[in-house]
Structure 1
Amino acid sequence: MKSFLLALRHSPLRWLLVPLIALDLTLILARDGYWHGLWGDTGAAGQVPTLFLGVFAAAAAAWTSSLRRPPEVAETLSAMPRPGPQAELPRIAVVLCAFLVPYLIGQAVCFAVTAPSWPPGFTQYLGYLLLGVSSLLAATGLGWVIGRLLSSRWSPAAGGLGWLLINMAFGTDLSVVNGPARMQPDLMEISLHAAAALLLLVACLWLPYGPRITRVRPLPGLAVVLALVVTGAAAGSPVIDERHGSASKTCVKGRTEICLWPEEEKYKPMAQDVLARTEHLPRELAMPEAVHSLGLVYTMDRTWGGDFDLDSGSVWAMADGVTMAISAQTFAACRDKDFKGFEAQLKADDQSVLALERWLEKRLAGGGEPEYREEGMTASMEKAVETGKEMADRPEAEQSAWATATVRHVLEKYCE
């Protein structure tokens, strides 16, 4: 402990603690608050800063590792009574402290926000928490090895850029953006990732201080190469698994039924509001038996799917899912005879169904502007979308009459 405190006192990295804590908290608190009350999204929100912290950690580790490269320093260290690993351990610990402490403080803030409601799915939070730790360990190990291979002039840039490219180019699970209920972190796999990264750091303790790679002794060099291979293999394997259905799903009943993952209990009031808005819809709109959150049902194409996702906590996502399910049920006759009804609408460029869907979506969402932007639409489609949105702001009687007439028009002209 005394060696660590001494190394921390003399390391410039100690001045990064406060700025990195501020950066971590800024990245967390600047996000939308949809993750509040959801363990999976809470852990993912706290883990998001590791993409940036990892870049800094790899750069700082590379710089620290390359500092003792001059031959005269290597000779001095080789004459020390303490073995090499004990002399190197405090420096690696300082780098880890400089980046793990801000990360853990950010995760503690996230935990404090969600813990009072204590929703289901706490293991999801633990998985993302450990994923962030594993990522920072791997970044530090990679940077340390790069620092041994390059001079202090180039190693920080190589370490930071190398870690960023690994995350961007190889599509690893080292960093995630959100943690929806339909995804489950594999604690065992993530633990193996962390163990592999820790193994790499332990192997780095035996690397010599020589100025060139040719001075690496066979045994430490082999250990580092093997540790790098293990860490790379672990980092390349997926650690976030898709979940397939839930026996204890949470369902809210109304004219239809909206079913959520147990971990999405927070969204029950949202589902109740959407269902309440379906009560006054024209009876010509047929209601589906149930509408499901993504991943809860086994679809006809032999995959696990659903009608909507709540990855960003948007009521528009739920409203869109319910809207499309109602539309599919209402115009089911158009699917008969090899979808000839839909083909006839397409040939006539009749966008009545699209206008009806945009009206219904806005109504179920409670009004306002959509939280998305539509692209690649034709002029007739854009006109239909605007018509539907405008209709949702008119008096109730006018809306009902227009929706009823639209449904009858489509069914009578294209779907009989």
Structure 2
Amino acid sequence: MEAVQFAATLTYGLLAYTLGAVAAAIVSVPTAGPGFLWPSYLLLGFSVITLCAALGHLVGRWSRSIFMAPVICALGCFVAIGAIGSPRGLGLFVLSGEPNVVVNTWPLVARISLATALLFAAIVLPDRQKRQRFRWPQTFGARVAASCAGFAVLVAFSSLIFAGPIRVDRAATDSPLCSTSSPRVCIWPEDRKYLPELTAMAERLDAVPQKWLNLPDTFYQSGLRPDPRYIPIDFSFSEGQLWFAAPNFAGVVIQRSITDKCEERSRVSAQKYSDAILQLDLWLEFRLMGSSKLSINSTLSDAQLSEPQRIVQASEGEQASWVDKQLKVIHNLPCQ
């Protein structure tokens, strides 16, 4: 009876989750192409739904209140998972699946094991009325089942703690998807739908008529080059927001085009140098995005953004004069 009741509860949650996943897949298939759907993320979601349903069922059997089960299962799980369930915490949810990271097998198994152990406990542990009437499960088999359920939950939770992070870096692919233009843009095949827009960003940079700019032959998405030297400069973006890639595109160009003559700078000199570099960096970001307006939230102040936003709308001659002024500040600054 308990198994049937729990199965009915779990079916509601898994059905809603499955329908959502199917709808998302149907919408994504035309543009995402093959390889975009990773079952590991679905399994993680299934395990969390099972875990929360099992907790709610346990509370419902042990509590006198008819409200405790939905509160624990719904509100309690939601708050707890939101607080400590992120990939940096217990790894119970992932908001977006970047192609340069994958779900780690053993941590995923640990979460599935915990959900399974709680499912088992929710079915076999005696409810409150039976415990008050008999003080302990009546039969030897029931005692063994209850003990095994408790032990399984303890072991599974311990394995979750020590299994490691839920996601790890993905091995670099031997066949990235690259544009044919120059400079090239190389990305993970799963992000193929974004290649045309990323290619357009690189082409806008290449079209800037200023000789001091030194563009790389290829812009790489994060993770395609496993060498740690490239991690800070290779671009990444999340949830289709390509503005997140703009600082990396611009930063690579600035790094290749400007060399700091000073090994050390005074605090005042370093601040002026950083301010001038930031202005050029932002100007390049607006140029490569083809817009003077940010489409993402930024921690930069209006004072930092206003000048690059203004100058990017000016003529090429005015922009060249403004850039020359920034370069003179950078090259003529004393080290101390």
The 3 A distance-change label for structure 1 pair 398 and 253 is: farther
Which residue of 2 is the match for residue 328 of structure 1? 255
Aligned partner of 1:77 in structure 2 is none
Residue 136, structure 1, aligned to residue 49, structure 2: yes
Hey, what does 1:190 align to over in structure 2? 108
Give 1:8-407 correspondences, 5 Å limit: 87-117=1-31, 119-122=33-36, 124-153=37-66, 155-156=68-69, 157-167=71-81, 168-169=83-84, 171-186=89-104, 189-191=107-109, 193-211=111-129, 213=131, 215-217=135-137, 218-236=143-161, 237=163, 238-252=165-179, 254-281=181-208, 282-298=210-226, 304-332=231-259, 334=260, 336-340=261-265, 345-346=269-270, 348=272, 351-375=275-299, 382-407=302-327
Q: Which amino acid aligns with 1:169?
A: I
Displacement after TM superposition at 1:129 (Å): 1.3
CA shift in 2, pair 1:176/1:300, >3 Å: closer
Deviates more, 1:271-280 or 1:182-191: 182-191
The number of aligned residues is 320
Are 1:354 and 1:385, in contact at CA under 8 Å, matched by a contact in 2? no
- Residue 30 of structure 2 aligns to a residue whose secondary structure is coil
RMSD after superposition? 2.9
Q: CA deviation at 1:161?
A: 4.5
Can you list the C-alpha shifts for 1:377-415, whole angstroms capped at 9, x where unaligned?
5xxxx5343111100111223223332443345234469
* Partner Cα separation in structure 1 for residue 213 and residue 268 of structure 2: 21
Task: Note the C-alpha offset of 1:359.
Answer: 1.3
Compute the TM-score of the two structures, normalised by the length of structure 2: 0.82
2:140 corresponds in structure 1 to none
1:348, distance to aligned residue in structure 2 (A): 4.7
Shift of residue 179, structure 1, vs aligned partner: 0.8
> Matched residues, percent identical?
22
* Separation in 2, partners of 1:256, 1:345: 34
Shift in CA distance, 296/414, structure 1 to aligned 2, threshold 3 Å: farther
The code of the aligned residue for 2:291 comes to G
The letter of the residue matching 2:284 is L
Residues 344 and 300 from structure 1, CA distance in 2 versus in 1: closer, same or farther, beyond 3 angstroms? farther
Indicate the structure whose relative CO is greater, using CA pairs within 8 Å and at least 6 residues apart.
1
Q: How far off is 1:112 after superposition?
A: 0.9
In structure 1, what is the Cα distance between the partners aligned to 2:39 and 2:274? 51
**Contact preservation (8 Å) 2:100, 2:170:** yes
Q: Which amino acid aligns with 1:383?
A: A
Is the Cα–Cα contact under 8 Å of residues 54 and 119 in structure 2 kept in the other structure?
A: yes
Is the CA contact (8 Å cut-off) linking 2:110 and 2:156 kept in structure 1? no
Return 257-266 or 131-140, whichever deviates more. 257-266
Counterpart-to-counterpart distance in 1, 2:184 and 2:30: 29
- For residue 111 of structure 1, report the CA deviation from its aligned partner: 1.3
Residues 357, 293 of structure 1: alpha-carbon distance in 2 compared, 3 angstrom cutoff: same
Q: Secondary structure at the match of 1:351?
A: helix
CA distance in 1, matches of 2:241, 2:334: 34
Segments of 5+ residues of structure 2 without an aligned counterpart are 138-142
Instruction: Rate the CA distance shift 1:260–1:344 in 2: closer, same or farther, 3 A.
Output: farther
Partner of 1:67: none
TM-score by length of 1: 0.68
Amino acid at match of 2:278: L
Structure 1, 397-406 or 188-197: larger mean CA deviation: 188-197
**Gapped runs of 5+ residues in structure 1?**
1-86
Classify the secondary structure of the residue corresponding to 2:124. Answer: coil
Taking a change above 3 Å as real, the CA distance of residues 248 and 339 of structure 1, as seen in their structure-2 partners, is farther
Aligned mates of 2:48, 2:13 — CA distance in 1:
11
Is the CA contact 1:100–1:136 (under 8 Å) kept in the aligned structure 2?
yes
CA–CA distance in structure 1, aligned partners of residues 155 and 28 of structure 2: 35
Does the C-alpha gap of structure 1 residues 169 and 350 become closer, same or farther in structure 2, counting only changes over 3 Å?
Answer: closer
Q: Per-residue deviation at 1:169?
A: 2.8
* 1:364 alignment partner AA: L
Matched to 1:370, the amino acid is L
